[in-house]
Amino acid sequence: MKERLEALRVEALQELHQVDNPQQLNDLRVKYLGKKGALTEILRGMGGLSAEERPIIGQVANDVRAAIEGVIDEKQNAFLAAETENRLRAETIDVTLPGKALPTGAVHPLNKVAQEIEDVFVGLGYSIAEGPEVETDYFNFEALNLPKNHPARDMQDSFYITEDILMRTHTSPVQVRTMQQMNGKPIKVICPGKVYRRDDDDATHSFMFNQIEGLVVGPNIRMSDLKGTLLQFVQQMFGQQAQIRLRPSFFPFTEPSAEVDVTCVQCGGHGCRMCKQTGWLEILGCGMVHPRVLEMGGYDPKEVSGFAFGMGVERIALLKYGIDDIRHFYTNDQRFLSQFARM
């Protein structure tokens, strides 16, 4: 039996050395070590051995099994390693190859500037209010102290839909809508949105553009609050060196009214072509909310006061980026737009 075991070892190892794939290896494992394998077959004869022979043969059988198992494990590990290597080679990526540049979108410069303006006011504690672009004559004009036959209505040639409904010509109607909603409570809002006018398009005019309205109402709101707020806004938008000046003006919905200039963004106030040598650029209109407008919003002008302002987003964007034609914002030329992607 010992000879048969030794012969089995030699035969098995010889065969195992020639194995070159996992399937073959498995077949040989079954052939030699399986339940019906050669080793088991030989060991069946153990019953006929004497008590002295049994442990000796048992020891040999264990050695043979260990030797065969050892080679099988070795081979198996080698196959596994080769397979892993092949897989890794197949998955290899050359990170030095030039990449594909995928075109990515970016926020439109107008939206970017609008967001920046909104961020400044949100930082000052303002909420954002919105109103409809299709507006009633009442909110767009009448509630803002421009009665039906008021000459100021001629100032703004409008897109009428019916006699009483039009595309809003400014964001100011949101003032009155907000007051009616707030029901006498203090107000601090900005209202961004599109507005429409029957202008012929040119470098500084568009039939549609964007405004941001501001409205603060409460006890004891004063002109100095308005001025401080606007200075804060301008310095956050254009830099700490920026200054403002208020020029008396007229709007039917504010009294007193003012137009606000900022120190020229190009020359810093020394005078240049951009500011027509004045050192100042006009950026918005504002004033103290007219008592009649407060009343129409349901507020008592003896109890509260307020300030309001309105600015054009396009105008702020033109100044901020030194752009000379408003139409660039609407034609969406990629060469123009892509300049703002990295800003």
Q: What are phi and psi of 93, to 5 degrees?
A: -115, 135
Establish if 310 lies at the interface with ligand DAH (CB under 6 A).
yes
Tokens of 268: 């810093």
**Near ligand DAH by CB under 6 A: residue from 140, 145, 172, 206:** 172
Element (H, E) at 308: strand 305-312
Among 173, 192, 269, 287, binds ligand DAH (CB under 6 A): 287
Query: Between residues 213 and 261, which has the closer beta carbon with respect to ligand DAH?
Result: 213
Q: Report the nearest approach of ligand DAH to the CB of residue 172 (Å).
A: 4
| 133-162 binders of ligand DAH (CB under 6 A) | none
Specify the residue, 25 or 231, whose C-beta has the smaller distance to ligand DAH. Answer: 231
> How far is the C-alpha of 315 from the C-alpha of 323, rounded, in Å?
9
CA dihedral sign of residues 29, 31, 36, 42:
negative
Residue 214 Cβ vs ligand DAH, minimum distance, rounded to whole Å: 7
**Does residue number 308 form part of the binding site for ligand DAH (CB under 6 A)?**
yes
Q: Does 286 bind ligand DAH (CB under 6 A)?
A: yes
Residues 266, 241: contact at Cβ < 8 Å?
A: no
Distance of alpha carbon 21 from alpha carbon 335, whole angstroms: 61
Q: Which residue in the set 254, 264, 283, 290 belongs to the binding site for ligand DAH (CB under 6 A)?
A: 254
Q: Name which of 260, 210, 194, 258 is nearest 233 in CA terms.
A: 260
Q: How many residues bind ligand DAH (CB under 6 A)?
A: 11
When asked if residue 329 is in the footprint of ligand DAH (CB under 6 A), the reply is no
Alpha-helical runs (H) found in 124-222: 137-140, 173-182
Q: Which residues are at the interface with ligand DAH (CB under 6 A)?
A: 170, 172, 213, 251, 254, 285-287, 308-310
